[in-house]
Structure 1
């Protein structure tokens, strides 16, 4: 019997809202797709790169600074696994630890607020996410200028706050890109591991979506998505996505691991 040495469980959570879209019309000869920005990547299933993205910074409740990163996998089918190490590391963090919770598994498309790197106020080191794939090297630095301040925790001008998540009813709250981590827990290879999460939201939205909600009376639910974040092999979820009422509720999924090792979900 194989036993997973540990299974660290954290949660990627996003709140979506219905946006009203308007059609845009223009006259003239349209550009070829390959001449548009990133146009060469549209519709390509595999062979394109995954690039890191720096999204901004905010102040944690303890006074430290959180640097928020995401990524963009340009393929529409190919996913990447780039183990944390020489080809996937964080540089410039006090203490020199290259594993700062960055993903080693990269799903297709654009993913926002995937992880944060916490640094002390006044740190003079430049923090860089170094990522190598498809024969290319990307080094994306953080920027602490005021132009990159984000409202990930305190909410936006409309008072819209991020959803709150817990791994125990009434337990510690996680919110924003930093989230919350629980574990480690143990599981057997091939045997489902049951994971629960409790979610609440303020039910507020911003921009055009807020105008739509005001007229329709609808309160958008929280979209909850489970993903493998780090780990040596495939992970299967009985429920990979679900919706929870903004007023709050509990969600469950069963996770099955194909190989022993350390995982972060």
Structure 2
């Protein structure tokens, strides 16, 4: 009776599978990527049914051969043939070491106190290795043209943890005056045989962000180039007076930084001010060259190991020695974060601020 019951169950199972295949027989037109896998599942389950119906060794061997043939046929089928025509230029594959494109990203927008709007942009270098340089011009442009020139030309590869770990968020920002707050600003990048354009605009509330306090009082850190000078507490940042140097001669770049979080109002906080992290990056420069920095990256955790996790909240001077191998005009970006705080993380596009240093390098 058990054998009869098993055969009957398998017959019903096979009938259900047959109905499934009939119901999805047009999947080659509607869902080409999933179709082969559906067929493979049907083949595998039917094969299991055959194994359950008989323990004959020869039949089992034939079934295994059937499974192998199905898998081989699926593997042999070119993936491009399974894709709709309009997607065949974008095959599913691992990222190449080089030759891939750099994609611009719109990270979000902020309504400022004076009703101006800040549009925040980042990028993702899709190569696994190396750096891509795209000079400002037809292949790297902001429109309207009056906003052109703030974007990076140097695009490193990133492999961070977290969501979209290859993306560099908040590399720069464009500020629209209140009377132009509805203007759409586009960033276009052409590289690796692809052209990408991303619009920055205020029409989507899902992209709206804030300069205000985070859940436990964190705010974007402050940066100044002199203690009594202009202050950056934002992604758009401030610009220092240009520095000058010659090829091979180190130049000192310095700034004052501060964690300005307002954490006293949140009783769960045991630390009122955290050690900040700093990173000096090449933002713009001649194609194919990059300066060398001393202490290019010092994380907040590294500073906490030396001085304790809790900071005084006072201004701290940070410096680097930059050495250039080629003459030209460069822009160096200083990014300052307070990622030691629980409510400040890179994936949340908070909390860090930018500041920029132009450097003119003579031969």
Shorter-chain TM-score bucket reads 0.7 to 0.9
Residue 163 of structure 1 corresponds to which residue in structure 2?
221
Structure whose residues are more often helix by fraction: 2
Residue 172 of structure 2 corresponds to which residue in structure 1?
115
Residue 235 of structure 1 corresponds to which residue in structure 2?
291
Aligned 8 A contact 1:41 1:74 in 2: no
Cα distance in 2, alignment partners of residues 160 and 45 from structure 1: 38
**1:1-265 alignment, distance < 5 Å:** 40-41=93-94, 44-92=96-144, 96-97=145-146, 99-109=148-158, 110-123=167-180, 124-145=182-203, 146-151=205-210, 153-202=211-260, 220-232=274-286, 233-243=289-299, 244=303, 246=311, 247=313, 248-265=315-332
Q: Could you say if the C-alpha distance between residues 162 and 218 of structure 1 is closer, same or farther in structure 2, counting changes exceeding 3 Å?
A: closer
Deviations 1:73-118 (A, max 9, x none): 12232211100011000012xxx33623100000112211111112
Q: CA deviation at 1:64?
A: 1.9
Structure whose residues are more often strand by fraction: 1
Q: Could you say if the C-alpha distance between residues 108 and 197 of structure 1 is closer, same or farther in structure 2, counting changes exceeding 3 Å?
A: same
Q: CA deviation at 1:156?
A: 2.7
Cα distance in 1, alignment partners of residues 92 and 320 from structure 2: 37
Q: CA deviation at 1:179?
A: 1.4
Cα distance in 2, alignment partners of residues 199 and 261 from structure 1: 28
Q: Could you say if the C-alpha distance between residues 187 and 46 of structure 1 is closer, same or farther in structure 2, counting changes exceeding 3 Å?
A: same
- Higher relative contact order, structure no. (Cα contacts within 8 Å, ≥ 6 residues apart): 1
Q: Which has the larger radius of gyration?
A: 2
TM-score normalised to structure 2 length: 0.54
The total of aligned residue pairs comes to 218
Q: CA deviation at 1:39?
A: 7.9
- What is the SS of the residue equivalent to 1:228? strand
Aligned 8 A contact 1:69 1:112 in 2: yes
Deviations 1:17-45 (A, max 9, x none): xxxxxxxxxxxxxxxxx9xxx98446x43
Residue 12 of structure 1 corresponds to which residue in structure 2?
none
Residue 21 of structure 1 corresponds to which residue in structure 2?
none
Aligned 8 A contact 2:224 2:230 in 1: yes
Q: Name structure 1 gaps, 5 residues minimum.
A: 1-33
Cα distance in 1, alignment partners of residues 320 and 254 from structure 2: 7
Aligned 8 A contact 1:85 1:98 in 2: no
Aligned 8 A contact 1:41 1:75 in 2: no
Cα distance in 2, alignment partners of residues 74 and 204 from structure 1: 38
Q: Could you say if the C-alpha distance between residues 135 and 237 of structure 1 is closer, same or farther in structure 2, counting changes exceeding 3 Å?
A: same
Cα distance in 1, alignment partners of residues 97 and 262 from structure 2: 36
Q: Name structure 2 gaps, 5 residues minimum.
A: 1-78, 80-90, 159-166, 305-310, 333-363
Aligned 8 A contact 1:47 1:78 in 2: no
Cα distance in 1, alignment partners of residues 329 and 283 from structure 2: 11
Q: Could you say if the C-alpha distance between residues 131 and 98 of structure 1 is closer, same or farther in structure 2, counting changes exceeding 3 Å?
A: farther
Residue 40 of structure 2 corresponds to which residue in structure 1?
none
Cα distance in 1, alignment partners of residues 113 and 269 from structure 2: 32
Q: Could you say if the C-alpha distance between residues 48 and 122 of structure 1 is closer, same or farther in structure 2, counting changes exceeding 3 Å?
A: same
Q: After the TM superposition, which segments of 4 or more aligned residues of structure 1 sit over 3 Å from their partners?
A: 38-42, 60-63, 202-205, 217-220, 243-246
Cα distance in 1, alignment partners of residues 187 and 193 from structure 2: 17
